Amino acid sequence: MRYVASVSYDGSKLYGFQRLNRHKTVQGELERVLTKINKTIVYVKGAGRTDRGVHAEDQKVHFDLDVNIPESHIAEAMNSMLDKAIHVREVKRVNDDFHARFDVKYKIYEYSITIGEYNPIMNDYTFYYPSSLSIRKMKKASKYLLGCHSYEAFTSGERESYNSILYSIKFKKRKGNISITFKGKSFYRYMVRNLVGALIAVGSGKVEAKEMKKMFGSKEQYFPYTTAPASGLCLKKVEY
């Protein structure tokens, strides 16, 4: 029987999503408790792999169980054994051909930037930027990122394809806090953090907004940017 679960976690207390032999990860923790529940080994497949330090409110995973347990009881049992940095919000039964990664319609990521006095308590949950940023310029630059493109210049590592679709990029500013929300089909390694870094380069006045469009169709960065830290990134929603 196949199930899909909605999982939230504090990425600052984990070594990313993908299982590792010597470190605590989201996938590793989920598989550990599910194997105890199922009495045999359970493998978990996620909608995507978040890096170390990246948070999630609605990561989706699927897994198969041999035992017949009510959905609500599965979530309850998992939460009783999971590390407190991870919480299963909901578990639902799905068709046996469902796949948490391949069936995704879109994902929503949010990146948080704080401009103002440094707060060590919030350091793991936002990116403290030391100077002002022009939201107007960043919005203008973001328009060049929308649509279907090859995002190779914004992706770390090698892939067969870098093509994806960004449906929207929205900005909110409130009391020195800036949030940038990305809605798209697929997000590759460091892609959101690199997009944020490029937008910050524009917002800080180092690069003109129109230069953003020159980043497409090339393996090399047309202009340099710094990858934004993992602390400010959160996977907000995965939709099927």
Question: What separation in angstroms does the CA of 37 have from each of 71, 83, 147?
Answer: 13, 15, 43
Catalytic residue flag (residue 51): yes
Mean pLDDT of all residues belonging to the chain? 94
Average pLDDT, integer, range 110-114: 98
d(CA 78, CA 32): 10
Rounded to two decimals, what is the model's pTM? 0.93
Would the CA dihedral through 115, 120, 124, 130 be positive or negative? positive
Summarised one tens digit per residue, pLDDT across range 192-219 is 999 999 999 999 999 999 988 888 866 6
Average pLDDT, integer, range 10-23: 95
Q: What is the pLDDT of residue 217?
A: 66
Q: What is the pLDDT of residue 216?
A: 81
Summarised one tens digit per residue, pLDDT across range 60-104 is 999 999 998 898 899 999 999 999 999 999 999 999 999 999 999
Strands 233-239 and 55-64: parallel
Which domains are assigned to the chain? 2-94 (3.30.70.580), 106-239 (3.30.70.660)
DSSP class of residue 16 equals -
Q: Nearest to residue 60, comparing CAs of 12, 23, 96, 27?
A: 27
Summarised one tens digit per residue, pLDDT across range 130-158 is 999 999 999 999 999 999 998 888 888 88
Q: Nearest to residue 7, comparing CAs of 238, 182, 184?
A: 238
Q: What is the pLDDT of residue 176?
A: 85
- Annotated catalytic residue: which of 10, 51, 83, 103? 51
pLDDT level of residue 25 (50, 70, 90 thresholds)? very high
Q: Is the pLDDT of residue 179 over 90?
A: yes
Q: Beta strands of the chain (E only): which ranges?
A: 2-9, 45-46, 55-64, 86-94, 106-114, 127-128, 147-150, 163-174, 177-184, 233-239
Q: What is the pLDDT of residue 162?
A: 83
